[in-house]
Structure 1
Amino acid sequence: MQKMQAEGGIGLIASRFSIQGPIKKDKASFILSARRTYIDALTKPFIPKSSQFSGSGYYFYDLNAKMNYTFSEKDRLYISGYFGRDVFDFVNGRQSLDVNIPWGNATGTIRWNHVFNRKLFSNTTLVYNDYNFNFTAAQNNFEVGLSSGIRDWTVKQDYDFYPYANHKIKFGGQYTFHRFTPSVVSGRQDSIEFNPQNAQVKFAREYALYVQDDWEVSPKFQVNMGLRFSGFTQVGPYKIYDKDINGNRTDSLEFAKGNSVKTYAGLEPRLTLRYSIDENTSVKGSVTRNMQYIHLVSNAGTTLPTDIWVPSTYRVKPQVSWLYAAGLFKNFKNNMYETSLEVYYKGMQNQIEYEEGYTPTTLEDTENFFTFGKGWSYGSELFINKLRGRLTGWIGYTLSWTWRRFPNLNEGLKYPAKYDRRHDLSIVGIYNLNDRWKLSANFVYGTGNATTLPQRFYLIGGILSQEYSRINAYRLPAYHRLDVSAVYTPVRNQKRKWKTEWVFSIYNLYSRQNPYFIYFDQEGNPVNGDLKVQAKKVSIFPIIPSVTWNFKF
């Protein structure tokens, strides 16, 4: 990096800016960048204060910083940091309902790259990561909150070794110390607050060693084979309670800080074979075993985004999966078109769900309400990409099924997973009209998430109760939208050191109201016999036209 450079964009819904340049000539350089959307500010003028949705909105921002320093031809240091946050607010004034969902991530990385010789390279990396998620819903005089987070400290050592022209070997290892806050539930009813200060924080050590080889057996036949050994140890402080059939605590087992509670470990082999039938056609097959020690747990009884991450523990085993895949790849018209068709099957053990009827509580560890089963998914993926010509773009389509079966859920019958998506379609087209104008369009379609909704409502002692369907028996409406844009690049004045372009875009051209979550709206009074309960969907982004000025100098 020899000179300072800056670029950015100023638009109606988002702005960005980055600057990069030398710190010390031929030795050190830096990059700083920032982004911020202000859809919340843009939509406020269109939501009257008298509207029941006044105060609703969404925005995100992030900051990036990178620096590198060259000590010698063989040693270089990289330092980077990231901080990002999303915030979603939904307000229904008529129902006195207020939902606030902020979540975000912060990371810091230091990487040392060393060249031993022309055949051996290494990267030594230190990583800090902090993820947190918060959810708060308030209605009338009642409020409930859910928070979750993961904090990690990681050290990695990776090597790239090229012993021969037809072998590319990678090997190394890593160690991570995890700090989990899986689920902290708080609540308030009138002046009474439930805000636990003793939420159970969980700790674990994760470690792995790996080796893999990209082997070009012949010009037509390539093999990628690897083996990874991974392990995960839960450590104290941790307390386990034994219970009788009525759920009463009868005994406990306590582990001191740093003491091992439970260890899981296993081998994760992988093998990929690729054969070139001719210069335009190839086939590929692969098999992979994976052990996952950190789990995403969804509550089937709500469409709200309340998924949490939990670790493997004394009670919770790691998820184990086998993935089998095969594909056909073919290029046409002198590589103008790339096409591929792949099929896959994935079997999963030790899947996690909440027990039926689970309600968040401040008094119990969340894992006490888990139940375990298995899952499987299968499908096919089609991809077509046009690389050259005035019109370029691609079409991607996935047809898939994802199932779960738990002995203690849904009467032991299989049901679709929350994120089972039968159809997933993406179409992108880019047309170069001339040297100044470029037009593009992007269409996406996806089957709605599976969810569990009440089948009927009834009153018991004046209290509204509900009876739920089978697990994930309903679907949210399909997600789809069309985005279009036109980019205008003025003829550049060669005497100027900067260049610009204008981007005219419309997000969600036909203003599809894609649901983010569903809530139930109540009208009337049960005492008068005119109570009505209706499902209402909450959408985030309507049609959003925008103009952005991009610059670089």
Structure 2
Amino acid sequence: MLRKLFLCLLCLLGYSAGAFAQTTQYTISGRLTDAQTGEALIGASVIAQETQKGSVADIDGNYRLQLPAGTYTLRWAYVGYQAQTQTISLQQNQTLNIALQPDTKQLQEVVVSAESAQAKLDATQMSAERITMQEMKNIPVIFGEIDIIKILQLKPGITNGGEGSSGLYVRGGGPDQNLVLLDDALVYNAAHLFGFFSVFNSDIIKDVTLYKGDFPAQFGGRLSSVLDTRVREGNKERFSATGGVGLISSRLTVEAPIQKGKSSILIGGRRTYFDVFTRLINQANEGVEDFSPIPDYYFYDLNAKLSFQLGQKDFLQVSGYLGRDVFGFRNDQFNFDFNWGNTTASARWDHIFSPELSSSLTGYYSEYQYEIRNQFDIFAFNVGSNVQDLTIQNDWGWTPQGSRHSFRAGALFTHHRFLVGRLQAGSQDGTVNFGNESRLAANEFGAYLLDDIEFNSRWRWNIGLRYSGFENSGQVYGGFEPRTALRFKVNERISLKAALARMYQYIHLVSNSAASLPTDIWYPSSEVVRPQISDQVAFGLSMSLANGALFFSNEYYYKNLQNQIDLRDGAQLFANPQLEREFVFGRGWSYGTEFYLEKKTGRTTGWLGYTLSWTWRQFGESNGNPAINEGRPFFPRYDRRHDISLVVVHKLSDRLSLSGTWVYNTGEAISLPTERFIVQNVEGTRPIVAPVYLERNGFRLPAYHRMDLGLVWKMKPKWGEADWTFSVYNLYNRRNAYFIYFREDRDTADNLTGFTARQVALFPIIPSVTYNFRF
């Protein structure tokens, strides 16, 4: 039935599934895995040496290659593994599952993803970034804590929200416009420590891909990017453990087979110990006059994954995540507790019906919540917010035999529940007791169909169509989201690409700050709040240089944003049952160009990226509220004119690797008072000085730049693997501006004479050391 449906659709489009077939073709398919752990090898390649036609394994290690009947020598290869070759006589469809042995002559580190320059040239996909475990482990980071998102910020077109922030601002989009997935489950707040670290434990990550423009049709719900993060499978052959001890946190991951070669379990945990040190300091100063106790703070992550190979055609994965930030302060009269975090759980069943047809059935639960508890003497109050999702999704892949088409189709349904704001307050004696909360429920759905067409060796076209919809209290929104990408290979070294994508976003982040904070509230589209819409077009050039050792790309993009949301000046955000009245609606647009040069082979690897871009927002009078910036366009805080990143990793020997990064970007756009209004107060007291802001974000912080260095020293103990990682953050101690404030200048008679701007920097030079191990 499904095949007939696809064939009918092709007929309506004016061509048949075999329109481009020249001879009868057969399919070679299978799964590529690590022979020692059973883990899928994402990005591993297979090539028929006689024709040089090849394929790359997907996120589950599955590959598919179509060839005419004949005799072929197939070669399966992956960076860090011993290649395998096999000669076959192809007269019918065949399934070949291949397990590659790690190459003991190379470093024992497993490269999770290693896209060659040729693979990037051949792909229709553009505007995507994939990072590897090797890159993550070698790049120096703050406090020695490996952070996936901070490494992504070193790629062109991606900026942060300020010094040390793990926020993502992609091609002019806001922090709420990124779809962050962990094993298919949505993560609403991907940050710890008020945005300084992400929630991803690098020890359990298998693959990370960020789409910043050419969005595959299966993704929806956000405007600017898709961060697709996959947790690796546990070791199906033997018990092993991975971990590390750093300055601020320690982590441990254990994995083992449940049934050898068939199933496995992986459990990983990470915890910081700020609170251990602060409690020791507080105890040492107990009783000291004028000593202010330091608040407790720590965060933790727990990951678990079960993987089952139910047969040659069925695979089941169950994954879960729990992460919390815990902040607390207590003294004799005052208690303050602030907790926030994510919970996700997902289950995915993959079934292969035939070499041409496969499906995935996924269900996931996602929750983000925060709660503030405060007690002063006998009076207490709680403030909180919560969002929950329950989703079911079905995806199908179909590659008809003898055709140059590859189809994907799917649908999903999500039920959202929002606790927009809860306020409860009362006294212990019961004389005071009141509360307020606002609960909402909504439903979101989507369906898509895409076709990847290989016309010939030069032309390849990916065309997709997604329809999404949203319902909240009887108000229904929906629309079509066309996605298309075209690749033309000028020759074996040069490709030209173009892409067009429309995205709808039905839930929105309500924030009274330029940065994403734990207390920000997610709010659904309603009769007043319309869905955000983005349209993005991109063009690009990709080149393979130096016999494939270098990859160069240059992309140009323009993004138009509709129904953007901001808060009116003086908005009341917390526990407001009429929150919609605080919104102002407008539009936005961004455009720019990105240059990228990468080297992934040899003793010296790394990349150089440069972005030149403009980002604009404009909010006129709307929703009964006055315009922002008098209705004139302005730059949002995260607008960056120039953004440069240089990353170099040099292998000094088999045991020593030296790495360095240097970043530069235009300072953030900020609002500063241009004049002040002085109100004379009661005689004998100082007058009140009120700042006057005439323009939104009309000033810039000084340019930001920083250099980091890292050294990885690998050891070879008898029991496994280990290394010491040394990092220096901000090597030349650049005091980058975090914010600016104004100090009053007064004469000896205490008369106000003027104001002096002062700059506050966050991080000086910071050395760190981390011990990592694996056995």
What is the identity percentage for the equivalent residue pairs of Structure 1 and Structure 2?
A: 42
From 410, 416, 425, the equivalent of 2:644 is 425
CA distance in 1, matches of 2:424, 2:669: 27
> Are the structure 2 counterparts of residues 193 and 344 from structure 1 closer, same or farther at C-alpha, using a change threshold of 3 Å?
farther
Question: Letter of the aligned partner of 2:557 in structure 1?
Answer: Y
Q: Report the equivalent of 1:112.
A: 349
> Are the structure 2 counterparts of residues 354 and 403 from structure 1 closer, same or farther at C-alpha, using a change threshold of 3 Å?
same
- Contact residue 468 and residue 481 of structure 2 kept, 8 A: yes
1:486 aligns with 2:711: yes
Q: Unpaired runs of 5+ in structure 1?
A: 92-96, 236-260
Q: Report the equivalent of 2:460.
A: 222
1:327 aligns with 2:540: yes
Matches within 5 A, 1:252-291: 261-291=474-504
Q: Report the equivalent of 1:252.
A: none
Question: Letter of the aligned partner of 1:484 in structure 2?
Answer: L
Q: Please report how far the alpha carbon of residue 146 of structure 1 lies from its aligned counterpart in structure 2 after TM superposition.
A: 6.8
CA distance in 2, matches of 1:359, 1:518: 25
Question: Letter of the aligned partner of 2:245 in structure 1?
Answer: I
1:439 aligns with 2:678: no
> Are the structure 2 counterparts of residues 25 and 445 from structure 1 closer, same or farther at C-alpha, using a change threshold of 3 Å?
same
- Contact residue 352 and residue 372 of structure 1 kept, 8 A: yes
CA distance in 2, matches of 1:42, 1:440: 30
1:552 aligns with 2:762: no
- Contact residue 488 and residue 497 of structure 2 kept, 8 A: yes
From 75, 79, 82, the equivalent of 2:318 is 79
1:180 aligns with 2:418: yes
Question: Letter of the aligned partner of 2:609 in structure 1?
Answer: G
> Are the structure 2 counterparts of residues 42 and 219 from structure 1 closer, same or farther at C-alpha, using a change threshold of 3 Å?
farther
CA distance in 2, matches of 1:458, 1:109: 59
From 341, 345, 366, the equivalent of 2:579 is 366
Q: Report the equivalent of 1:241.
A: none
From 404, 407, 413, the equivalent of 1:166 is 404
Q: Please report how far the alpha carbon of residue 75 of structure 1 lies from its aligned counterpart in structure 2 after TM superposition.
A: 1.9
Alignment deviations for residues 9-41 of structure 1 (CA, whole Å, 9 cap, x no partner): 122233221111111223321111112334666
Matches within 5 A, 1:350-361: 350-360=563-573
> Are the structure 2 counterparts of residues 397 and 135 from structure 1 closer, same or farther at C-alpha, using a change threshold of 3 Å?
farther
Moved more, 13-22 or 310-319: 13-22
Moved more, 507-516 or 391-400: 507-516
Q: Report the equivalent of 1:28.
A: 263
From 696, 712, 732, the equivalent of 1:510 is 732
Alignment deviations for residues 126-179 of structure 1 (CA, whole Å, 9 cap, x no partner): 11111235679999xx99997543211111111111114532211100011111
Q: Please report how far the alpha carbon of residue 301 of structure 1 lies from its aligned counterpart in structure 2 after TM superposition.
A: 8.2
Which of the pair is proportionally richer in helix? 2
Alignment deviations for residues 295-351 of structure 1 (CA, whole Å, 9 cap, x no partner): 234436899776443211111000111101000111111011101010100111111
> Are the structure 2 counterparts of residues 304 and 36 from structure 1 closer, same or farther at C-alpha, using a change threshold of 3 Å?
closer
- Contact residue 159 and residue 170 of structure 1 kept, 8 A: yes
Alignment deviations for residues 348-369 of structure 1 (CA, whole Å, 9 cap, x no partner): 1111111233244544422111
SS in 1 for 2:353: strand
Q: Please report how far the alpha carbon of residue 74 of structure 1 lies from its aligned counterpart in structure 2 after TM superposition.
A: 2.0
Moved more, 279-288 or 534-543: 534-543
CA distance in 1, matches of 2:294, 2:634: 38
- Contact residue 316 and residue 367 of structure 1 kept, 8 A: yes
- Contact residue 220 and residue 276 of structure 1 kept, 8 A: yes
CA distance in 2, matches of 1:436, 1:289: 48
SS in 2 for 1:275: strand
Matches within 5 A, 1:50-61: 55=294, 59-61=298-300
SS in 1 for 2:435: coil
Matches within 5 A, 1:100-499: 103-133=340-370, 147-164=384-401, 166-183=404-421, 197-235=435-473, 261-299=474-512, 307-360=520-573, 362-407=575-620, 408-455=627-674, 456=676, 458-459=678-679, 465-490=690-715, 492=716, 496-499=718-721
SS in 2 for 1:285: strand
> Are the structure 2 counterparts of residues 113 and 303 from structure 1 closer, same or farther at C-alpha, using a change threshold of 3 Å?
closer
- Contact residue 342 and residue 381 of structure 1 kept, 8 A: yes
- Contact residue 421 and residue 576 of structure 2 kept, 8 A: no
Alignment deviations for residues 84-107 of structure 1 (CA, whole Å, 9 cap, x no partner): 23467999xxxxx99987542211
CA distance in 2, matches of 1:518, 1:473: 14
- Contact residue 300 and residue 472 of structure 1 kept, 8 A: no
CA distance in 1, matches of 2:736, 2:275: 17
CA distance in 2, matches of 1:214, 1:124: 22
CA distance in 1, matches of 2:733, 2:430: 43
SS in 2 for 1:420: coil
CA distance in 2, matches of 1:409, 1:392: 46
Question: Letter of the aligned partner of 1:124 in structure 2?
Answer: L
Moved more, 101-110 or 530-539: 530-539
Q: Please report how far the alpha carbon of residue 377 of structure 1 lies from its aligned counterpart in structure 2 after TM superposition.
A: 0.6
Q: Please report how far the alpha carbon of residue 378 of structure 1 lies from its aligned counterpart in structure 2 after TM superposition.
A: 0.5
1:9 aligns with 2:248: no
Q: Please report how far the alpha carbon of residue 263 of structure 1 lies from its aligned counterpart in structure 2 after TM superposition.
A: 0.4
Alignment deviations for residues 169-192 of structure 1 (CA, whole Å, 9 cap, x no partner): 11100011111234557899xx99
> Are the structure 2 counterparts of residues 194 and 266 from structure 1 closer, same or farther at C-alpha, using a change threshold of 3 Å?
farther
Moved more, 202-211 or 380-389: 380-389
Q: Please report how far the alpha carbon of residue 119 of structure 1 lies from its aligned counterpart in structure 2 after TM superposition.
A: 1.1
SS in 2 for 1:368: helix
Question: Letter of the aligned partner of 2:640 in structure 1?
Answer: R
SS in 2 for 1:411: helix
Alignment deviations for residues 247-293 of structure 1 (CA, whole Å, 9 cap, x no partner): xxxxxxxxxxxxxx300010000111111111111111111111111
Q: Report the equivalent of 2:94.
A: none
Q: Please report how far the alpha carbon of residue 528 of structure 1 lies from its aligned counterpart in structure 2 after TM superposition.
A: 7.0
CA distance in 2, matches of 1:18, 1:71: 25
CA distance in 2, matches of 1:457, 1:193: 43
TM-score by length of 1: 0.81
- Contact residue 27 and residue 71 of structure 1 kept, 8 A: yes
Question: Letter of the aligned partner of 1:409 in structure 2?
Answer: I
CA distance in 1, matches of 2:510, 2:732: 34
> Are the structure 2 counterparts of residues 537 and 148 from structure 1 closer, same or farther at C-alpha, using a change threshold of 3 Å?
farther
CA distance in 2, matches of 1:536, 1:156: 53
- Contact residue 382 and residue 397 of structure 1 kept, 8 A: yes
Alignment deviations for residues 193-220 of structure 1 (CA, whole Å, 9 cap, x no partner): 9997322122110000101111111111
CA distance in 2, matches of 1:193, 1:225: 65
Moved more, 474-483 or 514-523: 514-523
Q: Please report how far the alpha carbon of residue 409 of structure 1 lies from its aligned counterpart in structure 2 after TM superposition.
A: 1.9
Count of residues paired in the alignment: 518
Q: Please report how far the alpha carbon of residue 446 of structure 1 lies from its aligned counterpart in structure 2 after TM superposition.
A: 3.5
CA distance in 1, matches of 2:358, 2:761: 49
> Are the structure 2 counterparts of residues 102 and 361 from structure 1 closer, same or farther at C-alpha, using a change threshold of 3 Å?
closer
- Contact residue 341 and residue 382 of structure 1 kept, 8 A: yes
